[in-house]
Copies of this chain bind each other. A is one copy, B any other.
Amino acid sequence: MRTAVLRFRAHQVIKRPNEAIDRVYTLKEGWACRSVMFQDGRRQILSFMLPGDTICVEGICVEDYALPYQARALTDVTLCSFSPTRLHDVVFASEQQREFFARYVLEQKALAERRLADIGRRRAMGSLAQLVLELFRTLSARGLAEGTVIDFPLRQEDIADALGLTPAHVNRTLVLLKRRGVMEISQSKLRVMDMAELLATAIDN
Protein backbone atom coordinates (compact mmCIF):
# COMPACT_ATOMS: atom_id res chain seq x y z
CA MET A 1 0.00 0.00 0.00
CA ARG A 2 2.59 2.54 1.05
CA THR A 3 4.76 3.12 -1.96
CA ALA A 4 7.45 5.48 -0.73
CA VAL A 5 8.83 7.56 2.09
CA LEU A 6 9.55 11.12 1.01
CA ARG A 7 11.51 13.90 2.62
CA PHE A 8 11.28 17.64 2.26
CA ARG A 9 13.48 20.27 3.86
CA ALA A 10 12.10 23.10 5.95
CA HIS A 11 10.25 25.74 3.90
CA GLN A 12 10.03 23.63 0.77
CA VAL A 13 6.76 23.57 -1.10
CA ILE A 14 5.17 20.12 -1.03
CA LYS A 15 2.24 20.88 -3.32
CA ARG A 16 1.48 23.98 -5.34
CA PRO A 17 -2.00 25.48 -5.70
CA ASN A 18 -3.89 24.00 -8.66
CA GLU A 19 -1.29 21.29 -9.00
CA ALA A 20 -2.76 17.90 -9.81
CA ILE A 21 -3.06 15.74 -6.71
CA ASP A 22 -1.25 12.74 -8.08
CA ARG A 23 -0.11 11.69 -4.62
CA VAL A 24 -1.55 11.96 -1.12
CA TYR A 25 0.73 12.06 1.90
CA THR A 26 0.64 11.34 5.57
CA LEU A 27 2.94 13.36 7.74
CA LYS A 28 5.27 11.08 9.64
CA GLU A 29 7.74 13.51 11.20
CA GLY A 30 7.91 17.29 11.32
CA TRP A 31 5.39 20.09 10.85
CA ALA A 32 3.84 21.46 7.68
CA CYS A 33 1.13 23.96 6.84
CA ARG A 34 -1.48 24.81 4.26
CA SER A 35 -1.43 28.45 3.21
CA VAL A 36 -2.57 30.92 0.58
CA MET A 37 -0.32 33.66 -0.82
CA PHE A 38 -1.44 37.02 -2.14
CA GLN A 39 0.27 38.73 -5.06
CA ASP A 40 1.98 41.24 -2.84
CA GLY A 41 3.49 38.57 -0.61
CA ARG A 42 0.96 38.53 2.20
CA ARG A 43 0.46 35.01 3.50
CA GLN A 44 -2.37 33.39 5.42
CA ILE A 45 -1.76 30.01 6.98
CA LEU A 46 -4.97 27.99 6.87
CA SER A 47 -3.86 25.22 9.17
CA PHE A 48 -0.84 23.56 10.66
CA MET A 49 -0.27 19.91 9.91
CA LEU A 50 1.24 17.76 12.61
CA PRO A 51 2.56 14.21 12.60
CA GLY A 52 -0.37 11.95 11.79
CA ASP A 53 -2.12 14.45 9.55
CA THR A 54 -2.99 13.77 5.94
CA ILE A 55 -1.77 16.18 3.28
CA CYS A 56 -4.13 16.81 0.37
CA VAL A 57 -7.02 14.71 1.68
CA GLU A 58 -9.04 16.22 -1.14
CA GLY A 59 -7.33 13.81 -3.49
CA ILE A 60 -9.06 10.92 -1.73
CA CYS A 61 -12.52 12.44 -2.12
CA VAL A 62 -12.64 13.59 -5.73
CA GLU A 63 -10.64 13.49 -8.93
CA ASP A 64 -9.16 16.48 -10.74
CA TYR A 65 -9.54 18.84 -7.82
CA ALA A 66 -7.97 22.28 -8.17
CA LEU A 67 -6.14 22.67 -4.87
CA PRO A 68 -7.07 26.10 -3.47
CA TYR A 69 -3.96 26.39 -1.28
CA GLN A 70 -0.34 25.39 -1.12
CA ALA A 71 1.18 22.80 1.20
CA ARG A 72 4.59 23.59 2.61
CA ALA A 73 7.02 22.04 5.06
CA LEU A 74 7.70 24.18 8.12
CA THR A 75 10.47 21.92 9.37
CA ASP A 76 12.27 19.07 7.71
CA VAL A 77 9.56 16.47 7.23
CA THR A 78 9.21 12.85 6.26
CA LEU A 79 6.06 11.78 4.45
CA CYS A 80 4.47 8.55 3.43
CA SER A 81 3.27 8.77 -0.14
CA PHE A 82 0.08 7.12 -1.39
CA SER A 83 -1.85 6.79 -4.58
CA PRO A 84 -5.09 8.75 -4.18
CA THR A 85 -7.18 6.21 -6.05
CA ARG A 86 -5.81 3.29 -4.05
CA LEU A 87 -6.40 5.19 -0.84
CA HIS A 88 -9.89 6.01 -2.05
CA ASP A 89 -10.62 2.33 -2.49
CA VAL A 90 -9.34 1.51 0.96
CA VAL A 91 -11.30 4.28 2.62
CA PHE A 92 -14.54 3.36 0.91
CA ALA A 93 -14.10 -0.37 1.36
CA SER A 94 -16.00 -0.55 4.62
CA GLU A 95 -18.65 1.72 6.07
CA GLN A 96 -16.65 1.92 9.29
CA GLN A 97 -13.55 3.21 7.55
CA ARG A 98 -15.54 5.65 5.50
CA GLU A 99 -17.07 7.14 8.64
CA PHE A 100 -13.70 7.30 10.36
CA PHE A 101 -12.34 9.19 7.38
CA ALA A 102 -15.34 11.50 7.22
CA ARG A 103 -14.87 12.34 10.88
CA TYR A 104 -11.28 13.34 10.23
CA VAL A 105 -12.24 15.65 7.37
CA LEU A 106 -15.06 17.21 9.38
CA GLU A 107 -12.70 17.72 12.33
CA GLN A 108 -10.30 19.59 10.05
CA LYS A 109 -13.15 21.72 8.76
CA ALA A 110 -14.30 22.52 12.30
CA LEU A 111 -10.76 23.44 13.22
CA ALA A 112 -10.53 25.90 10.33
CA GLU A 113 -13.82 27.46 11.36
CA ARG A 114 -12.73 27.84 14.97
CA ARG A 115 -9.71 29.65 13.64
CA LEU A 116 -12.00 31.84 11.57
CA ALA A 117 -13.91 32.82 14.70
CA ASP A 118 -10.66 33.38 16.60
CA ILE A 119 -9.29 35.75 14.01
CA GLY A 120 -12.57 37.53 13.45
CA ARG A 121 -13.71 38.00 16.99
CA ARG A 122 -10.78 37.71 19.39
CA ARG A 123 -7.89 39.96 20.19
CA ALA A 124 -4.33 38.84 19.66
CA MET A 125 -4.03 37.52 23.22
CA GLY A 126 -7.14 35.39 22.88
CA SER A 127 -6.47 33.85 19.50
CA LEU A 128 -2.86 33.14 20.42
CA ALA A 129 -3.98 31.29 23.54
CA GLN A 130 -6.54 29.36 21.51
CA LEU A 131 -3.94 28.37 18.94
CA VAL A 132 -1.52 27.11 21.56
CA LEU A 133 -4.24 25.13 23.31
CA GLU A 134 -5.30 23.59 20.02
CA LEU A 135 -1.78 22.46 19.20
CA PHE A 136 -1.34 21.18 22.72
CA ARG A 137 -4.54 19.16 22.61
CA THR A 138 -3.75 17.64 19.24
CA LEU A 139 -0.20 16.67 20.13
CA SER A 140 -1.34 15.25 23.47
CA ALA A 141 -4.00 13.16 21.76
CA ARG A 142 -1.30 11.73 19.50
CA GLY A 143 1.06 11.02 22.35
CA LEU A 144 3.50 13.72 21.30
CA ALA A 145 3.38 15.91 24.39
CA GLU A 146 5.84 15.52 27.23
CA GLY A 147 3.72 16.52 30.19
CA THR A 148 3.40 20.27 30.02
CA VAL A 149 5.93 20.68 27.22
CA ILE A 150 5.58 20.24 23.47
CA ASP A 151 7.93 20.52 20.55
CA PHE A 152 7.32 23.87 18.96
CA PRO A 153 9.19 24.57 15.75
CA LEU A 154 7.07 27.53 14.62
CA ARG A 155 8.69 30.88 14.02
CA GLN A 156 6.82 33.89 15.32
CA GLU A 157 6.24 34.81 11.70
CA ASP A 158 4.39 31.52 11.19
CA ILE A 159 2.18 32.23 14.18
CA ALA A 160 1.55 35.72 12.83
CA ASP A 161 0.52 34.39 9.43
CA ALA A 162 -1.81 31.88 11.03
CA LEU A 163 -3.53 34.48 13.21
CA GLY A 164 -3.62 37.40 10.83
CA LEU A 165 -1.16 39.38 12.92
CA THR A 166 2.28 40.90 12.61
CA PRO A 167 5.44 39.18 13.83
CA ALA A 168 6.15 42.21 15.98
CA HIS A 169 2.79 42.00 17.65
CA VAL A 170 3.00 38.24 18.16
CA ASN A 171 6.30 38.86 19.88
CA ARG A 172 4.86 41.46 22.23
CA THR A 173 2.00 39.12 23.10
CA LEU A 174 4.35 36.20 23.76
CA VAL A 175 6.51 38.36 25.98
CA LEU A 176 3.42 39.32 27.97
CA LEU A 177 2.48 35.67 28.45
CA LYS A 178 5.97 34.83 29.62
CA ARG A 179 6.05 37.76 32.06
CA ARG A 180 2.73 36.63 33.49
CA GLY A 181 4.18 33.17 34.01
CA VAL A 182 1.63 31.55 31.71
CA MET A 183 3.80 29.97 29.05
CA GLU A 184 7.16 30.26 27.42
CA ILE A 185 8.78 29.35 24.13
CA SER A 186 12.46 28.66 23.88
CA GLN A 187 14.72 26.36 21.94
CA SER A 188 11.87 25.03 19.85
CA LYS A 189 9.95 23.94 22.93
CA LEU A 190 6.78 25.38 24.36
CA ARG A 191 6.26 25.04 28.09
CA VAL A 192 2.92 25.79 29.69
CA MET A 193 3.59 26.99 33.21
CA ASP A 194 0.02 27.83 34.26
CA MET A 195 -2.59 25.89 32.31
CA ALA A 196 -5.53 27.33 34.26
CA GLU A 197 -4.42 30.84 33.42
CA LEU A 198 -3.88 29.88 29.78
CA LEU A 199 -7.40 28.49 29.57
CA ALA A 200 -8.80 31.62 31.17
CA THR A 201 -6.84 33.79 28.76
CA ALA A 202 -8.18 31.80 25.83
CA ILE A 203 -11.77 32.21 26.91
CA ASP A 204 -12.07 35.84 27.82
CA ASN A 205 -9.96 37.50 25.17
- Residues of A with Cβ closer than 8 Å to B? 36, 38-40, 42-44, 46, 58, 61-63, 65, 68-69, 92, 98-99, 102-103, 105-106, 109-110, 112-117, 119-121, 161, 163-164, 203-204
Contact = CB atoms under 8 A, between A and B. Distances in A.
**At the interface, is chain A mostly helix, strand, loop or mixed?**
helix
A98 B95 CA distance: 13
Q: Can you tell how many copies of this chain the complex includes?
A: 2
Given A65-B106, A112-B116, 9 more contacts: A36-B114, A44-B117, A46-B116, A61-B102, A61-B103, A68-B110, A68-B114, A92-B98, A119-B119
Contact of A112 (B36, B113, B121): B113
Contacts of A92: 98
B58 A120 contact: no
A62 B102 contact: yes
Nearest to A45: B120
A108 to B, nearest CB: 8
B113 A46 contact: yes
Contacts of A109: 109, 112
Contacts of A116: 44, 46, 112, 115-116, 119
A102 B109 CA distance: 13
Most buried by B among A39, A92, A110, A203: A110
Contacts of A163: 120
A10 to B, nearest CB: 23
A43 B114 contact: no
